[in-house]
Structure 1
Amino acid sequence: MPSFAAALSPIVSLVPPRIRVVRETPEEKGETFITIQVPDVPEEQPVPPVRKTSYHTRIREIPTDERPRERLIQYGADVLSTSELLAILLRTGTEKYSAMGLGDHLLASFEGLRGVARASIDELSQIHGVGPAKAAQIKAAIEFGRRLVAASPDERTKITSPRDVYNLLGPSLREEKREHFVAVLLDTKNGVLRTKTVSVGDLSSSVVHPREVFTEAIRHSAASLIVAHNHPSGDPTPSPDDVSVTRRLQEAGELLGIEVLDHIVLGDNRFTSLKEKGLM
């Protein structure tokens, strides 16, 4: 007959390391009982607040557990402020500003993160303490984020509404200083096959030929498509040219058997669907 320890072994192996198994044998009955002792589970500790520092406080002068890089490692990137994230990219400050102070100065100079994203490398480099190398790091990080948002997921993104198109293209298009005309190619279930920039114009217009749009659609065997473009002015109101281009694309699509489902104009945190406006 197997010993008690041998019989208990398979059970004990399933118990997490933090839980202790105790053998108890009451003297009166000679029976063997098992008691599992579970230690108290400590409550999840909130992220400790960071003491406010001045623009001149050097990173090395900040307590280790309050430094941006250490906080990111311990608590995750989402708890950091925008200036703290910039400080990690910048790494060093100037004689006037710490790295975090320089991050705050950048945000103030360009009126927030969106302004920093829109700024060119030359414009960023003009901020004392940034320079071309740090400006390139900032632009690379912003572009990496844009590409991550636009990256094709394991399952195709489904387009069920104009907002889906805005969510898909907005992060990359709304910061552009020139008009970008994009075709969103769809399969038979409105899954996104590909997004393709077919034309880049100037500040107020882009020239689009149906041939450029439908060449991509045919190449990728699209069942239908949606076109979209940004208005750098931030106002998503469709222009007469927008309506005219849409109708020409619709006519070409009817001939080729590839339906143009909608035309979305993207502005500053807003968008307009020509389909919903009855303009197509």
Structure 2
Amino acid sequence: MLPPEVKLPVNEMPRERLVREGPDKLSNQELLAILLRTGSRGETVLDQSQRLLTSFGGLLQLKDATVEELQAVRGIGFVKAIEIRATLELAKRIHTMNTKEKWIISGPEDVTERVMEEMRFLQQEHFIALYLNTKNQVMHKQTLFIGGLNSSIVHPREVFKEGIRRSAASMICLHNHPSGDPSPSKEDIQVTKRLVDCGNIIGIPVLDHIIIGDQCYVSLRDLGGVFDSVNP
């Protein structure tokens, strides 16, 4: 027979500690335990939350876990997996939101400050476009392509279609390098030149193409050459 679920003393329960001391005083293990609510046979909810973190190598890796991967951990059923996945997605969305002021772009730092944490851990290359108005305010942000960056995948038609629909005055392109090294490849340069040329013809200039690495980035405009024909 399996042992019964182990109970924690009331004063050690994460929920009670959160109310008493505040959420910022709780560890990742304790916050996760609040989501899990109950332990499983033979272990406390804190034991289970620590085992879950250990299974994925920490909170950073847990944030990308799928429902199926979560369910593969002993004691994590479908409901718990769904609740964890939903909570992590909400946290991600809150991190990328800014409701207090408009997102104004004056340089690559304004872009990377907003997207670095969102993009630096992606396991595949994501090509994203920011569509700006005449005041360099971001009107719309859209992921256009996922996968290896080359001219056959990143087609100007798809890149500029949204800009035309929204009457964008200009745009900024960005994509990530999963390796963490933002050094531009030959394909990155070729794609950028093609988009810059098309943007000048259409009337929606590409102001920059930023490559996101792990806590670092490269602005192709700053490198020179590709953007010589684009007005600042």
TM class, shorter-length: 0.7 to 0.9
- 1:110 is aligned, of 26, 38, 56, to 56
Asked if the contact 2:130/2:142 (under 8 Å) is kept, the reply is yes
- 2:101 is aligned, of 149, 155, 161, to 155
Q: Matched residues in 1 for 2:136 and 2:23: separation?
A: 34
C-alpha deviation, 1:113, in angstroms? 1.2
Q: Matched residues in 2 for 1:269 and 1:172: separation?
A: 11
Say whether residues 1:92 and 2:38 are aligned partners: yes
Say whether residues 1:69 and 2:15 are aligned partners: yes
Asked if the contact 1:118/1:175 (under 8 Å) is kept, the reply is no
Asked if the contact 1:162/1:273 (under 8 Å) is kept, the reply is yes
Say whether residues 1:200 and 2:142 are aligned partners: no
- TM-score with structure 1 length normalisation? 0.71
Letter in 2 for 1:78: D
- TM-score with structure 2 length normalisation? 0.85
Letter in 1 for 2:15: R
Query: Going by fraction, where is helix more abundant, 1 or 2?
Result: 2
Say whether residues 1:234 and 2:180 are aligned partners: yes
Letter in 2 for 1:211: R
Greater relative contact order structure (CA < 8 Å, 6+ sep): 2
1:162-177 correspondence to structure 2 within 5 Å: 162-177=108-123
Say whether residues 1:185 and 2:165 are aligned partners: no
Question: Aligned pair count?
Answer: 220
Q: Matched residues in 2 for 1:88 and 1:273: separation?
A: 42
Which 5+ residue runs of structure 1 have no aligned equivalent? 1-56
Q: Which one has the largest radius of gyration?
A: 1
Identity of aligned residues (%): 44
Letter in 2 for 1:115: Q
| Structure 1 residue ranges (4+ consecutive) displaced by more than 4 angstroms after TM superposition | none
C-alpha RMSD over aligned residues: 2.1
Moved more, 238-247 or 228-237: 228-237
- 1:217 is aligned, of 158, 163, 170, to 163
**CA displacement 1:35-78 (0-9 Å, x = unmatched):** xxxxxxxxxxxxxxxxxxxxxx95x52343x4322233344322
Letter in 2 for 1:146: K
Distance 1:61 1:152, change over 3 A: closer
Q: Matched residues in 1 for 2:168 and 2:16: separation?
A: 48
Q: Matched residues in 1 for 2:144 and 2:89: separation?
A: 20
